[in-house]
Structure 1
Amino acid sequence: MSKKKPLSQGQRRRMRANQEKRLQRQDSGNNAPELQDSSLGPEQLGTVISRFGQHADIETESGQIVRCNMRRNIQSLVTGDKVIARLAQDIETGIAGVVEAVHPRHSSLSRPDLYDGIKIIAANIDQILIVSSVVPSFTTQIIDRYLVAAEDTGITPVIILNKIDLISDEERTSIEEALQRYRDIGYPVLKVSSKTGEGIDQIKALLNAKVSVFVGQSGVGKSSLINSMMPDAELLIGDVSENSGLGQHTTTTAKLLHFASGGDLIDSPGVREFALWHLPAERVGWCFIEFRDYLGTCKFRDCKHQNDPGCAITQAFNEGKITEDRYNNYHRIIASLDEQRHARHFRSDTDL
């Protein structure tokens, strides 16, 4: 039997588009008839609490939450978007309004998608809280990857060390030294324990009047930390596996929640971890903020910032102006980009 010829990338894109159109037709066919303009009230401001296919849950300024259809001219709608909506004058059940327009975003959180390129997953975020802990393990490599992603989006990052009640005497000095290195280059760092409550008031003050996103490896206690400040969030807590040392992913639906003490949280499965394979090496270097004074001053334009002669980054490192772990983590990220791109390319060629 002859081997089937693989589909081209164009054929796969068309297949995906056709599948999405069928799903949209099925989704619209299972709902009530489209609301008529004559049945809708005046325009009002709202916020997208969550998105479901061609529908979105909208919270009005009065605190009412209704499920709305989207006008066909709306190209993108994600949790956190500020919108103009019109609600049905007689709201009973099911679809109770229409999203007419979307306000411009002051920030957007995105991730690379194998088929769709850069995909926006949340909007109008003020800060990214990078949560780390000693369980499963404390590592600056993961923190630096999140910092690169945060700097790339232009959203303010804050580093949080959770589970400080579990730090051993042997670990305390090295961890504190690592955290101080981040403070020295301008990043805010907080130490908390969702178990003992230490530092929780500081987090609440930080969250007040802002829209925040929590990110971090599984098992670092993101959900526990959120639940300590928002008991009604009903977020499932994933225990750390005794066998693998890794936590289980527990969040399943992107949604916007309100902290009682003030501020909002966007909790989304799309921000469990950031992939960086879409970033060029030059952009990664810029996202290391202490590199910026030296970028563009190397002897050669195509400098890889390793053993290249006349490298300004390497010289700054040798002079102690760039710390060893940040310098090494930069090179680890650059090395991983080629590996990830190769893996993605191989997958796109073989995934039918």
Structure 2
Amino acid sequence: MSKKKPLSHGQLRRMRTNHKKKLQQHNIAEPLPELQDSSLGIEQAGTIISRFGQHADVETPDGKVSRCDIRRNIKSLVTGDKVIVRLSQHINQANPTAIAGVVEAVHPRHSLLSRPDFYDGVKIIASNIDQIFIVSSVKPSFTTQIIDRYLVAAEDTGIAPIIILNKIDLISEDEAEEIEAALQRYRDVGYSVYKVSSTLNQGVDTLHDLMKDKVSVFVGQSGVGKSSLINAMMPDAQLLIGDISESSGLGQHTTTTAKLLHINSGGDLIDSPGVREFALWHLPAERVGWCFIEFRDYLGTCKFRDCKHLNDPGCAITDAYKAGNISDDRYHNYHKIIASLDEQRHARHFRIGPNE
């Protein structure tokens, strides 16, 4: 298959212009007059429930959610942020979307969930998360490659990952043994793995227990059933469920803006925008290796400092793999991720232009 011809500078310029227009059409509302300081009340604590362009929905300790302006000196604000807010003393109760306050400042974050974006670089999705549920399923397809990509992302952020296999009611007898063996390999290196079915409501109580008193986020390919699981846990959430495309077999995106949801049994859940593939081009190869937790005992002990952990003589990682201390799929998934890094960086170079 021949390689596609790189885009010309004119094509790249038009692509960027169209991209900006789309962002303006979907994310930027008509400018509204700013609230006067004299109309604002005292400072109080708040949590960002969701962010919409230059506005954010903020929940205060009394449980009320107010749409607020964001001070211009605040450079970054995402769902999950703990903030200081001042609310208007004259809130328009008849219009819930009216601007009712101002976000004054953001507290330091203890964790960040981010993902690479071809146009914006590394983009922060949410903050102050305690655990990441990596959701997989037999449909669209079960693949350890995607799980390992999310595990690398989780390890890089320092947020505890938990692997969830959804739609277990759809597993055939032929698939069951192979999938269970793959999940066991994750348990063997220390990851928690749970099998659930949102359709049968199986394992949902376990998820409730895991999420109690924590802030969690579900990640995974579109179509694996993240929204269905949330609906099973929180029937009043009424999240849109996307069916798997019959023509492509891929899931269809249903979530566009990260939103913080409260779980009745305790804990919070941030429902974040889905991605088909979690790109890792922003990570150096050394960091990817460290994010494979079973590699850590061997890193730094190879014969050569610039060891690629493949055919290099004296490679401690390869020796551990041959000795059975690193599983076959984890070893090969690592090299697939490494091989994809340059490809993804090259693709981004041509998408946004060499001078940006």
| TM-score (ref. length: structure 2) | 0.89
Q: Distance in 2 between matches of 1:197 and 1:51?
A: 31
- Mapping for residues 240-251 of structure 1, pairs under 5 Å: 240-251=244-255
Q: Distance in 1 between matches of 2:120 and 2:208?
A: 36
The structural deviation recorded for 1:342 is 1.4
Quickly say closer, same or farther: Cα 1:50–1:194, change in 2 above 3 A: same
2:240 counterpart (215, 236, 239): 236
Moved more, 228-237 or 99-108: 228-237
Three-state SS of the structure 2 residue aligned to 1:174 is helix
Give the structure 1 partner of residue 5 of structure 2. none
Quickly say closer, same or farther: Cα 1:219–1:342, change in 2 above 3 A: same
Q: Distance in 1 between matches of 2:254 and 2:308?
A: 39
Q: Which runs of 5+ in 2 are unaligned?
A: 1-7
Q: Quick one: which amino acid aligns to residue 54 of structure 1?
A: Q
1:124 counterpart (119, 125, 128): 128
Quickly say closer, same or farther: Cα 1:336–1:183, change in 2 above 3 A: same
Q: Quick one: which amino acid aligns to residue 129 of structure 2?
A: I
Give the structure 1 partner of residue 35 of structure 2. 35
Give the structure 2 partner of residue 64 of structure 1. 64
The structural deviation recorded for 1:273 is 4.1
Give the structure 2 partner of residue 144 of structure 1. 148
Q: Distance in 1 between matches of 2:184 and 2:275?
A: 26
**Are the equivalent residues in 1 in contact too, given 2:223–2:250 (CA < 8 A)?**
yes
Give the structure 1 partner of residue 273 of structure 2. 269
The structural deviation recorded for 1:258 is 1.0
Q: Quick one: which amino acid aligns to residue 114 of structure 2?
A: S
Are 2:207 and 1:206 equivalent residues in the alignment? Answer: no
Q: Distance in 1 between matches of 2:295 and 2:335?
A: 13
2:114 counterpart (97, 100, 110): 110
1:134 counterpart (135, 138, 146): 138
1:185 counterpart (183, 189, 193): 189
Pairs aligned (count): 341
Three-state SS of the structure 2 residue aligned to 1:238 is coil
Quickly say closer, same or farther: Cα 1:75–1:350, change in 2 above 3 A: closer
Instruction: Provide the alpha-carbon RMSD of the alignment.
Output: 2.6
**Are the equivalent residues in 2 in contact too, given 1:131–1:160 (CA < 8 A)?**
yes
Q: Taking every aligned residue pair, what percent have the same amino acid on both sides?
A: 75
**Are the equivalent residues in 2 in contact too, given 1:121–1:270 (CA < 8 A)?**
no
The structural deviation recorded for 1:107 is 0.3
Q: Quick one: which amino acid aligns to residue 84 of structure 1?
A: I
Q: Distance in 2 between matches of 1:149 and 1:27?
A: 30
Q: What do the CA deviations read for 1:258-298 (whole angstroms, capped 9, x no partner)? A: 11111111112165642101111111000000001111110
Q: Which runs of 5+ in 1 are unaligned?
A: none
The structural deviation recorded for 1:27 is 5.7
Q: What do the CA deviations read for 1:103-156 (whole angstroms, capped 9, x no partner)? A: 000001112233433221111111110011111211111110110111111111
Q: Quick one: which amino acid aligns to residue 162 of structure 1?
A: N
Give the structure 1 partner of residue 49 of structure 2. 49
The structural deviation recorded for 1:245 is 1.7
Quickly say closer, same or farther: Cα 1:246–1:117, change in 2 above 3 A: closer
Q: Quick one: which amino acid aligns to residue 61 of structure 2?
A: E
| TM-score (ref. length: structure 1) | 0.90
The structural deviation recorded for 1:242 is 2.6
